[in-house]
Structure 1
């Protein structure tokens, strides 16, 4: 009898990671049926999508409120589907708040739950560990320090490695710094709210240079998917549209001398390609005020989190959160420093190499093996 797996990936990066896992699992066991919530990458793997998660991909408290009714609709569709057609296992990929509610509901239905890419309890709202241990049967973590944190609170914690290492194109660029085509790559985020909060701030930072027109004329703005591309095009005048480029075009990304980027998975992608960066991140004012009280770490970028012994206390790259006018000047100074200080760039590259060495590869295949073991044990 074919096993039925329900999968939820709420964001663009999660959709990509989920798709890689599905692909690997089908190699081990082609007699699987997948359905769930996701985006284009899962669709390409022939997963039956009952709700497109692009409609509910938001970050920030105010931003979530604005999508409340859409999120509520998605929640009802998922719950009804689970109740009427119980799967053998639910695989939840990141997208914490939504997915933990689904995990809680799955517990009522006695459906086993695996959570892939753990909630960042080490950064904020640590009390969530109690709920996670109650409603999640298996936790597959992707960062080396996470297993120890969760092992202290729950059983069945598995370090599977980081899925980004499976992308063979995410390797160090062999192009000399001064030979690269693009002066700066702009990475404003993968959600509508992120793009709207970050894009103009990032472009304003570049304007602070007296030599912007001459020195930084070769700028690329990278989008993560077609929806993000449309959002950016609607925000910018037509003459800027030629600057747009897909973030999946890694050959173009590697042609960037440096990057101004939002926090998130993209910082790790840039790290693996050895591209110097500055993290710039802006939230809505109310969300920022609330997050300041909740977040317990000094830095938020993955690139800064992985290397430090004390989480979030080691600054590999500079971060500017909720930047004001003075910060924009400091960002421009940092851009100039990356350009002119070769030793500074080399130190950053050394730290990038250390980060790569800390990460484990084979995440999707390791996860597929783990899920297959869970399915086998549940049926025996």
Structure 2
């Protein structure tokens, strides 16, 4: 654990889900390399706590997604918001940094505005994708916005908001460093086994929607590819949920919770099915041919379709400006369609090669100017916001 110094500047950090926890831990490491006297408090997961964060309550209490899925949690989330506000009021940190989780983070930033504490939000709300009108509510929520995608800087500046592109953290993920032979040896897989990555999501509200479809898809897939081995990389937060949901599968999956083991699985993989989001960029960095699939509550889907303003859901497609990878969403998230898509990805070298060529172009645009690592660029922006910085 990184030691903290009681009389140094205090940075209050918030991460509400697994991806934010990883991002927060890297940010804390970069900040610590620049100033050893920083103290970190707030809300975060295991990785941030291992990096020295004093967490107010378990991050998992905030990990929920979906317009309908969140309704049963509103009361408990409201209580936790009150807890976070009181903690900031009592601790009076020198700076507040919220990471992603806009549903909780933006409410928190608004509530603490009267305290006069400098605020930074890291990972922009994706209002460019849907509900663009919400950007009118952002002035006054933060003093600086750190964005991950190259086009976001201009988008927010057009709306009068100070945004800084710091590069995408996937570039520091190590997803491309895996060892296929090590993965096969560790899990007793033959050289001929066809590894298929299944990524149902990092939230407990996501995985149960995709896993039943994946299980049925595998039954169909095995008829054509009998040597396929499903591998499910998940965060420890949802590992129990995944284990229970896959207990009855005809094909026993390899469930991976270790980050290095996940990267080894990527290196061994012939294809992947993943939800939309950062996981698509991880797989692209590792060169894994993929299709994106997703299923949410039908009411959530109906509302989202009326609001979404971008042509693609998959981040790699959005950045490429074309349908680089297949998108099988909602009604198309069907076992037969998924199985047919996986067969093409695994057995057609031309399909895989075309995707990999497109991945290279996408990834080249994700690094900020100066070739600085994303966490270091973000740390410099954040330290500049400290009093006397």
TM-score (norm 2): 0.89
Q: How far is the alpha carbon of 1:173 from its aligned partner?
A: 7.5
Question: In the alignment, which residue of structure 2 is the partner of 1:230?
Answer: 240
Residue-by-residue CA offset, 1:37-57 (whole Å, 9 max, x unaligned): 111011001100002121220
Change in 2 beyond 3 A, CA 1:41/1:172? closer
- State which drifts further: 198-207 or 277-286: 198-207
Alignment partner for residue 280 of structure 2, among 226, 247, 267?
267
Match of 1:311 in 2: none
Structure 1 pair 346–77 and aligned structure 2 pair: CA distance change class (3 A): same
SS in 2 for 1:127: helix
The question of whether the paired residues in 2 share the 8 Å contact of 1:5 and 1:90 is answered with yes
1:113 matched to 2:124: no
- In structure 1, distance between residues paired with 2:85 and 2:314: 34
Deviations 1:317-376 (A, max 9, x none): 101111357x4323222212112221111110100111111110511111111111111x
Partner of 1:78: 84
Residue 209 of structure 1 and its aligned partner are, at CA, apart by: 3.4
Q: Distance in 2 between matches of 1:146 and 1:180?
A: 43
Match of 2:380 in 1: 369
Deviation at 1:188, TM superposition (A): 0.7
Runs of 4+ in 1 over 6 A off after TM superposition: 172-175
Q: Distance in 2 between matches of 1:72 and 1:241?
A: 40
The 1-side partners of 2:164 and 2:365 are apart by 16
**For each residue in 1:78-100, what CA deviation from the matched residue of structure 2 results, as whole angstroms up to 9, or x when unmatched?**
01111122111110100011111
Within the candidate set 316, 321, 324, 2:329 is matched to 321
| Preserved CA contact (<8 Å) 1:92 1:99 | yes
Aligned length: 368
Counterpart for residue 257 of structure 2: 246
Alignment correspondent of 1:147? 153
Q: 1:316 and 1:147, CA in 2 relative to 1: closer, same or farther beyond 3 A?
A: same
| Partner Cα distance (2:222, 2:82) in 1 | 54
User: Aligned with 1:68: secondary structure?
Assistant: helix
2:205 is aligned with 1:196: no
Match of 2:57 in 1: 51
Deviation by residue 1:61-82 (Cα, 9 ceiling, x = unmatched): 1211122222112101101111
Rate the CA distance shift 1:168–1:227 in 2: closer, same or farther, 3 A: closer
User: Which one of 295, 304, 314 corresponds to residue 301 of structure 1?
Assistant: 314
- 2:362 pairs with 1:355: yes
Conservation of the 8 A alpha-carbon contact between 2:230 and 2:253: no
The one of 180, 183, 188 equivalent to 2:195 is: 183
Q: Per the alignment, do residues 15 and 202 of structure 1 end up closer, same or farther by CA in structure 2, a change over 3 Å counting?
A: same
Q: Secondary structure at the match of 1:260?
A: strand
SS at match of 2:164: strand
Query: Are the equivalent residues in 1 in contact too, given 2:211–2:246 (CA < 8 A)?
Result: no
Q: Secondary structure at the match of 1:355?
A: helix
SS of residue paired to 2:358? helix
Secondary structure in 1 aligned to 2:65? coil
- Contiguous gaps of at least 5 residues in structure 1: 309-313
**Contact 1:164-1:170 at 8 Å conserved across structures:** no
Native 8 Å contact 1:279 1:319 kept in 2: yes
Which runs of 5 or more structure 2 residues have no equivalent in the other structure? 1-6, 182-189
Aligned partners of 1:322, 1:173: CA distance in 2, in Å?
Answer: 34
Distance in 1 between residues matched to 2:127 and 2:178, nearest whole Å: 31
TM-score by length of 1: 0.91
Q: Of the candidates 11, 28, 43, which is equivalent to residue 5 of structure 1?
A: 11
What is the rounded CA distance, in whole Å, between the counterparts of 1:196 and 1:160 in structure 2?
Answer: 34
Q: Give the CA deviation at 1:172.
A: 8.3
CA distance in 2 between partners of 1:260 and 1:154 (Å): 38
Equivalence for 1:280: 293
Question: Please, what is the CA RMSD of the aligned residues?
Answer: 2.2
- What secondary structure does 1:7 align onto? strand
CA–CA distance in structure 2, aligned partners of residues 168 and 320 of structure 1: 27
